[in-house]
Amino acid sequence: MRCFARGLGFLEKFFIEGHDISRPNAQSTMRLLHYFAIPVAGAYHRAGAHVDWDFLTLLFQKDGQDGLEICPGREVVTEFGVGDEWTKVKARTGEIVCNIGDLLMSWSDDRFKSTFHRVKAPCRDYFDRYSIAYFNQPCKDVLIQGLLKKYPVVSGAQFTERAMRQKFAALQKKVAAA
């Protein structure tokens, strides 16, 4: 986080202080993810194409439990990434996959792009998949705006609420079209 702060022209501890998990209004979360076995994988997705709305997601995976694919640089051109080029990310125990989220994209005035990703089941019988994701989100009262002021200033709480509303609206639209 210090590297991002320095690179963007903020004070070195700017992002660290804005994401202080010891504060009562911290929003960072950790999720233990379990994708159940799929008898015939085919074209199934365990998690469809999406971006995270946080600052940075840290993903911990186990050897042999592949499925994560990325479409980096905000390059997805079709809705939900269907037909776009995806890169497989090999799951390795002890390695951490770092995904830039929409919050860092906003704070950087789009200098850093959030990473589209999905979890796809391979084309064979596939067993359970376990991973741990840490979503680094700002404290609710932190003000979010890049130095170039490309986007209006919002609080951490407003940013999170807006992101949740947008994701839910997109899901409702997809369900209604089905």
Return the CATH number at 52.
Answer: 2.60.120.330
Indicate whether 155 belongs to any domain: yes
Choose among 96, 97, 95, 79: nearest CA to 87.
Answer: 97
Predicted TM-score of the model (pTM): 0.83
d(CA 142, CA 144): 6
- Is residue 56 pLDDT above 80, yes or no? yes
With pLDDT > 70 as the criterion, what percentage of the chain qualifies?
84
**Mean pLDDT computed over every residue of the chain:** 85
Across the range 67-77, mean pLDDT stands at 70
Indicate whether 107 belongs to any domain: yes
Indicate whether 69 belongs to any domain: yes
**pLDDT recorded at residue 72:** 66
Indicate whether 1 belongs to any domain: no
Indicate whether 53 belongs to any domain: yes
Across the range 84-94, mean pLDDT stands at 86
Indicate whether 91 belongs to any domain: yes
- Is residue 78 pLDDT above 60, yes or no? no
- Is residue 125 pLDDT above 80, yes or no? no
pLDDT (tens digit per residue) in 129-157: 788 999 999 999 999 999 999 999 999 99
Domain residues for the domain of 79 are 23-177
Output the six-digit token pair for 172: 């409702």
**pLDDT recorded at residue 5:** 97
Output the six-digit token pair for 148: 């170039």
| Count of domains forming the chain | 1
Indicate whether 12 belongs to any domain: no
